[in-house]
Amino acid sequence: MTHSLTADAQPRSVTGRMVAVKEMAQLQRMLFEIEREFVRTATTLVYRVGDVELKYLICQHVWESAGHARFLRERGRELSGFGKDECVRESYSAIFEEAVRAEDSLVALVGFYRVLKPALLAAYRHYLETTHHLADWPSRKLVEEFILDEERHADEVAQYLQGVGGDEWTQHLSIALSAIGGWLGERESIAAPSDFEWISRTVPYRHLDTCNRGDSPIASTAYGYDPEQFPIVRSWLEDPETDARVLRVMVYVWLMMELDAVDYLATVFYETPVAPFDMHYDLARHLWDESRHSAFGYRQLPKLGVDLTRLEHSLDLYNILVQMSPPERYAMMTMEFEAGSFGTKAQIMDKMRELNDFEADTLLAFDRNDEQQHVRYGHRWLPEIMRLFNVEGSVDAFVANTKVRFEECSKTYGGQTPHSLSAEERLTGNKILALVGIK
């Protein structure tokens, strides 16, 4: 009798003693789930919006959100009650699933940035108000940083939201969010009206068949052998006689075209909802790296006299890969395109040193370092993505089969994008020669 009383009473009193910690750990757990779900779903905006700079910005915000989630998980696990798993509660994923259902890309953007992100900022502020400044100082310092980030994100995106409208959509998402009383339940919850319809319950989400590039001219590919047609002339890349100034322009075009990697990698998050968070964290880093590599070209080319309105964006890789499964996409990216790029890039880097262009050397060195890291991510996460999709057999066999499948899919989905510009108008290998004063 006495024994059983003690056994009963003890857990209750332990729980009681830690209640203040548990409550805060629970809020951190909720914030972690919101940030990770933002990473999974806001990535669908990347290939839907057409503005290049906006794509870069979303990648940056996604990476920062992944960082918030990681810090929250690290700190949360120091506290009693954070929980060991990493899954997202249904009430949150329902709202994020709804947010991706906006038909118009900018309205979708507005939903994330006028409703879900401001509510997250409010949730962080609530955390600061609720917690004890001294007892929970380590969390407080993190949350103060995150608030500054969220405020900056709002400022950075503001110019893209101007004049978009989307009031009906923001109202729709606000209703969904109010039904749970805000992210942390910190507000009074208001039940959704009886005629409220969750679009996500009836309409499946599907990636776009082709990525949006807004006003930019497009084509199937930027690579070829004919200098009258393509800006990146494959034979010139390998030729030791190619002028270093030509290589510099071509390699910046190559880097800028990595925007295709940005768009197709962005599709993988949404389709892997139960991935370990560390996988999404590394993928978010990978995504942001590719957007930076693309920006290397985007920012440097105009300085070298290239008119970006004459440079066609290549869409083939997105168009082909989006038809393949996420493990296939990721396998092609890391095990084929990235692992296979080092030899050629090394030659180009050696040759370009002739130019004493410190900035170009630096950008290429960081690109190389990032790419080595991406191949490491591939070795780490490809087996995991294969598991998530019940792919059996060895990784090597899967990669080999995927290459064959890619060739097959290329026949159907590749080469379908006509040139926006005539050969006279667009940047080509021969125009690059003229640009650097060779012809």
Distance in angstroms (rounded) separating the CA atoms of residues 118 and 122: 6
Stretch that binds Fe ion, among 30-38, 192-200, 268-276, 290-298 (CB under 5 A): 290-298
Smallest gap from Cβ 236 to Fe ion, in A, equals 20
Distance in angstroms (rounded) separating the CA atoms of residues 363 and 251: 11
Minimum CB distance to Fe ion smaller for 33 or for 290: 290
Is position 293 an interface residue for Fe ion (rule: CB under 5 A)? yes
Residue 391 CB neighbours (<10 A): 19
Q: Which two tokens stand for residue 64?
A: 């920062």
Minimum CB distance to Fe ion smaller for 27 or for 284: 284
Stretch that binds Fe ion, among 131-139, 239-247, 364-372, 396-404 (CB under 5 A): 364-372
Residue 68 Cα to chain centre, angstroms: 15
Minimum CB distance to Fe ion smaller for 117 or for 293: 293
The residues near 60 (Cβ < 8 Å, ≥ 6 apart) are 288, 291
Smallest gap from Cβ 283 to Fe ion, in A, equals 11
Measuring CA to CA, which residue among 78, 89, 86, 93 is closest to residue 38? Answer: 93
Distance in angstroms (rounded) separating the CA atoms of residues 335 and 392: 18
Instruction: Give the interface size with Fe ion as a residue count (CB under 5 A).
Output: 6
Distance in angstroms (rounded) separating the CA atoms of residues 189 and 160: 31
Widest CA span in the chain: 99
Minimum CB distance to Fe ion smaller for 161 or for 339: 339
Smallest gap from Cβ 341 to Fe ion, in A, equals 8
Smallest gap from Cβ 221 to Fe ion, in A, equals 17
Beta strands in 179-304 (DSSP E): 218-219, 223-224, 232-233
Distance in angstroms (rounded) separating the CA atoms of residues 429 and 420: 17
Q: Map residues 311-340 to x or -, x wherever contact with Fe ion holds by CB under 5 A.
A: ---------------------------x--
Minimum CB distance to Fe ion smaller for 169 or for 296: 296
- Interface positions, 372-431, toward Fe ion (CB under 5 A): 374
For Fe ion, the binding residue among 258, 263, 282, 312 (CB under 5 A) is: 258
Smallest gap from Cβ 258 to Fe ion, in A, equals 5
Stretch that binds Fe ion, among 13-21, 169-177, 257-265, 342-350 (CB under 5 A): 257-265
Minimum CB distance to Fe ion smaller for 68 or for 374: 374
Across the chain, how many H-helices and E-strands are there? 19, 4
Is position 70 an interface residue for Fe ion (rule: CB under 5 A)? no
DSSP letters of 323-373? TS-HHHHHHIIIIIIITTSHHHHHHHHHHHGGGT-HHHHHHHHHHHHHHHH
Minimum CB distance to Fe ion smaller for 53 or for 226: 53
Minimum CB distance to Fe ion smaller for 98 or for 371: 371
Is position 285 an interface residue for Fe ion (rule: CB under 5 A)? no
Sign of CA dihedral 170, 175, 178, 180: negative
Smallest gap from Cβ 255 to Fe ion, in A, equals 7
Distance in angstroms (rounded) separating the CA atoms of residues 283 and 63: 9
Stretch that binds Fe ion, among 8-16, 175-183, 302-310, 365-373 (CB under 5 A): 365-373
Contacting positions for Fe ion (CB under 5 A): 258, 290, 293, 338, 371, 374
